[in-house]
Amino acid sequence: MLLKLTVLPGDGIGPEVTEQAVLVLQAVADGFGHQLQLQTKLIGGAALAAANDPLPADTIKACLESSAVLLGAVGSPAFDHNPGHLRPEAGLLRIRRELGAYANLRPAVFFPALEDCSPLRAELVRGTDIMIVRELLGGAYFGSPRSIEGAPGSRVAVNTMRYGESEIERIARVAFELAMKRRRKVLSVDKANVLECSRLWRDVVTRVAKDYPEVKLGHQYVDSAAMLLVQRPTDFDVLLTENMFGDILSDQAGGVVGSLGLLASASVGGPVGLYEPVHGSAPDIAGKGIANPLGAILSVAMMLRHSFQLEAEAVCVEKAVSAVLSQGARTADLAGKAHAAISTTQMGSKVVEAVKAASH
């Protein structure tokens, strides 16, 4: 199969982790007899610096002509004081929209080898396997009007949280379909005691649930869901959320399983899937060669599964990651006291070796 992709390394640790993810993908392609065709384009701060545009037209075109897009991270303190449309993040939000990627799947799976990494007691976190289904193109991230206006000292800021029934319905269907292939539980998160958007959300999700009688649907206010996520993480199967609640809870889920650096994501629903680790650009550690590449590598596994239907290849990558963790490989975020930390490239190489060993 021809794997035609665009790589958007982006900012901070993005280039370091995507480099390792691409090496793993190359090893998979070699081992399973696929052909990899890559082009690299600019997004975020890197694109602002080069072209004063966080998402140049040429990047959009390349992505739309690919079968899948691999993204590193976006965000740089150098542009913190830019107006909203000239911030790196504007490029990320726009590429999600251009690709129609309304469904962001963020698995948070506990690796048995990482018992010492979770801040939670092993008996609580053991067995955690959550699929966060985050709506990605609506809510406060995209609603208008939005503004900051007025004179310094008396400025007023406005954002708009907006959801239409069809947007809620399509993401709810994604959650229920996934639940059918898992443990058949959906927990829908909202703030229906306060927000109209959430009342509509609960209404529509309840209606969609009627088409999935085998799936057990629960509703939880987001504050309470945040608490349950640390108290009883193994109770969760599919966690369905609007855009901002999903952003927050997915970082928390990363903490629960031991490190945000482990979390991968797939942003799907449109013609071209976008695959990105959940972590950000981490400017504090950028360029040091210590970032954890496993989130990006596991995003490649999701790409193989969701964009190319290459399940065996996806499982090969996931097993390789699991194997190197079991051997004790740890980047700095996972090292703790008992292990010496290895570098980004060393971790990447270990996964490449494990893929090679499994696929030849």
Indicate the helix (H) or strand (E) that contains 18. Answer: helix 14-32
Q: How many residues sit in the footprint of Mg ion (CB under 5 A)?
A: 1
Least distance in Å: CB of 263 to Mg ion? 10
Given 41, 102, 163, 191, which residue is catalytic?
191
> Would residue 337 show up in a list of annotated catalytic residues for this protein?
no
Cβ closest to ligand IPM, residue 265 vs residue 359: 265
Maximum distance among all alpha carbons in the chain?
66
Is the N-terminal amide bond of 112 cis, ω within 30° of 0?
A: no
> What part of residues 237-256 is at the interface with Mg ion (CB under 5 A)?
247
273 binds, among Mg ion, ligand IPM, none (CB under 5 to 8 A by kind): none
Residue 251, H or E segment = helix 243-257
Residue 333 appears among annotated catalytic residues: no
Q: Are the C-beta atoms of 175 and 136 separated by less than 8 Å?
A: no
Active site annotation includes 191: yes
Q: By C-beta, is 103 or 314 nearer to Mg ion? A: 103
* Residue 91 contacts ligand IPM per CB under 6 A: no
Distance, in Å, from the CA atom of 29 to the CA atom of 236, rounded to the nearest integer, reads 34
Residue sitting closest to ligand IPM (CB): 89
Q: Which of 247, 275, 333, 350 is catalytic?
A: 247
- Taking residue 36's Cβ as centre, other Cβ atoms within 10 Å add up to 15
141 catalytic, yes or no?
yes
Q: Which helix (H) or strand (E) holds 132?
A: strand 129-135
Find the shortest distance in angstroms from Cβ 8 to ligand IPM. 13
Residue 74 near ligand IPM by CB under 6 A: yes
Whose Cβ is closer to ligand IPM: residue 133's or residue 316's? 133
Q: Cα separation of 100 and 90, whole Å? A: 15
Residue 247 or 333 having the CB closest to ligand IPM: 247
Closest distance between ligand IPM and the C-beta of residue 247, in Å? 4
The 263-292 contact track toward ligand IPM, x by CB under 6 A, reads: ---------------x-x------------
Contacts of residue 340, defined as CB under 8 A and 6 or more positions apart, other chains included, come to 330
Strand pairing class (147-149; 156-158): antiparallel
Backbone angles phi, psi at 246, to 5 degrees: -70, -35
Does residue 54 belong to the site contacting ligand IPM (CB under 6 A)?
no
> Which stretches of 65-164 are DSSP H helices?
88-98, 122-125
**Active-site residue 350, yes or no?**
no
- The three-class DSSP label of residue 129 is strand
Nearest distance in Å: CB 310, ligand IPM: 24
| Shortest reach from residue 243's CB to Mg ion, in Å | 10
In whole angstroms, give the CA distance from residue 302 to residue 101. Answer: 14
Q: Is 247 in the site for ligand IPM (CB under 6 A)?
A: yes
Q: Kindly state the smallest distance separating residue 210's Cβ from ligand IPM, in Å.
A: 31
Q: How many CB atoms lie within 10 A of CB 151?
A: 6
Q: List all residues 6 or more positions away from 160 whose beta carbon is below 8 Å from its beta carbon.
A: 140, 143, 144, 145, 146
Judged by CB under 6 A, the residue of 21, 46, 92, 272 near ligand IPM is 92
| Residues making contact with Mg ion (CB under 5 A) | 247
Q: Which residues are catalytic?
A: 141, 191, 223, 247, 251
| Residues making contact with ligand IPM (CB under 6 A) | 74-75, 89, 92, 247, 278, 280
